[in-house]
């Protein structure tokens, strides 16, 4: 498994790949998603190694034209200025769609991106069981895996008391270990979460697994999961996304 660098500081670099000046339309306008006026490539606001890596991988897998803009999550700045003006939630990812509206929530951004191609490969087509099974995974990863990592990232800043810090760390590490046991059993010897086909759910789970070393969880305790991780690392689109975020040595 390649060593990742950057240590997911969620943050500091300002990278812009072919970024055009941003003209943001702040209306939510979710109902007008289908009425795109193709103006400029979509732009993903990301922080290196953060959960924004998942939709970044999806864009690379789909081989779509896209731009990237790094966000400093500590001071909420990016090349376009005050990130809170772009995404008032203050978190990454955010996607500037090609009608200039902003879409947030990583799990939804990935679905939106896959639906642009709508070939049913990395996300099942509307009405298929595959689509809802993939969504079932997306929801599980978002609520049970991703969000149980979050407290581990803030330990040093939140807890000054070493004992409290250790207790919280043990609690969330155990919690994640339970999820990893379940995932290991479900993945088994399959190539991906959905069996033989890589989907948007794998992009998301892979992203979460890249955080294990940083939070001190040894993923090698789950052989199925390290095999799964290595398989995903080898995908050209994944390597591309990691390189674009400056995470590959």
Ligand X SMILES: N[C@@H](CCC(=O)N[C@@H](CS)C(=O)NCC(=O)O)C(=O)O
Binding site for ligand X (CB under 6 A): 10, 50-51, 73, 90-93, 105-107, 142
Q: How far is the CB of 74 from ligand X (least distance, A)?
A: 9
CB-nearer residue toward ligand X: 142 or 184 = 142
CB-nearer residue toward ligand X: 105 or 115 = 105
Q: How far is the CB of 13 from ligand X (least distance, A)?
A: 15
Q: How far is the CB of 185 from ligand X (least distance, A)?
A: 25
Name the token pair of 176: 């994640």
Task: Output the residue with the shortest Cβ distance to ligand X.
Answer: 91
Q: How far is the CB of 107 from ligand X (least distance, A)?
A: 6
Strands 66-72 vs 42-46: parallel, antiparallel or unpaired: parallel
Q: How far is the CB of 11 from ligand X (least distance, A)?
A: 9
Shortest CA distance to 97 belongs to which of 145, 154, 26? 26
Q: How far is the CB of 109 from ligand X (least distance, A)?
A: 7
Tokens 């997911």: give the residue.
8
Name the token pair of 25: 């339309």
CA 73 to mean position of chain CA atoms: 15
Give CA–CA dist 171/58, Å, rounded.
32
Which helix (H) or strand (E) element contains residue 102?
strand 102-104
Tokens 């998603």: give the residue.
33
Contact 126, 132 (CB under 8 A): no
CB-nearer residue toward ligand X: 122 or 145 = 145
Q: How far is the CB of 235 from ligand X (least distance, A)?
A: 21
Q: Largest alpha-carbon pair distance within the chain?
A: 55
CB-nearer residue toward ligand X: 24 or 121 = 24
CB-nearer residue toward ligand X: 141 or 236 = 141
Contact 199, 123 (CB under 8 A): yes
Residue 64: left (phi > 0), alpha (psi -120 to 50), or beta? beta
CB-nearer residue toward ligand X: 106 or 124 = 106
CB-nearer residue toward ligand X: 78 or 107 = 107
Give CA–CA dist 59/186, Å, rounded.
26
Please provide residue 21's backbone torsions phi and psi, each rounded to the nearest 5 degrees: -55, 140
């Amino acid at each position: 498994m390649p060593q990742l660098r950057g240590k997911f500081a969620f943050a500091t670099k300002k990278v812009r790949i072919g970024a055009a000046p941003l003209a943001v339309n702040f209306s939510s306008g979710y109902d007008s998603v289908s009425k795109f006026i193709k103006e400029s490539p979509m732009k993903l606001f990301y922080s290196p190694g953060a959960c924004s890596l998942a939709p970044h991988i999806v864009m690379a897998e789909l081989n779509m034209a896209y731009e990237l803009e790094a966000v400093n999550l500590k001071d909420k700045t990016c090349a376009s200025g005050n990130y809170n003006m772009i995404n008032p939630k203050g978190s990454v990812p955010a996607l500037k769609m090609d009608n200039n509206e902003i879409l947030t929530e990583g799990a939804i951004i990935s679905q939106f991106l896959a639906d642009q191609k709508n070939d049913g490969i990395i996300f099942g087509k509307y009405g298929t069981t595959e689509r809802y099974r993939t969504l079932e995974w997306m929801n599980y990863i978002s609520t049970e895996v991703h969000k149980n990592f979050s407290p581990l990232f803030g330990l040093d800043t939140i807890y000054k008391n070493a004992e409290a810090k250790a207790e919280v760390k043990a609690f969330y590490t155990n919690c994640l270990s339970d999820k990893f046991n379940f995932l290991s059993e479900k993945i088994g010897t399959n190539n991906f979460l959905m069996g033989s086909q890589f989907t948007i759910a794998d992009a998301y789970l892979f992203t979460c697994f890249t955080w294990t070393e940083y939070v001190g969880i040894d993923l090698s305790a789950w052989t199925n999961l390290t095999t799964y991780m290595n398989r995903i690392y080898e995908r050209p689109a994944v390597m591309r996304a990691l390189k674009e975020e400056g995470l590959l040595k």
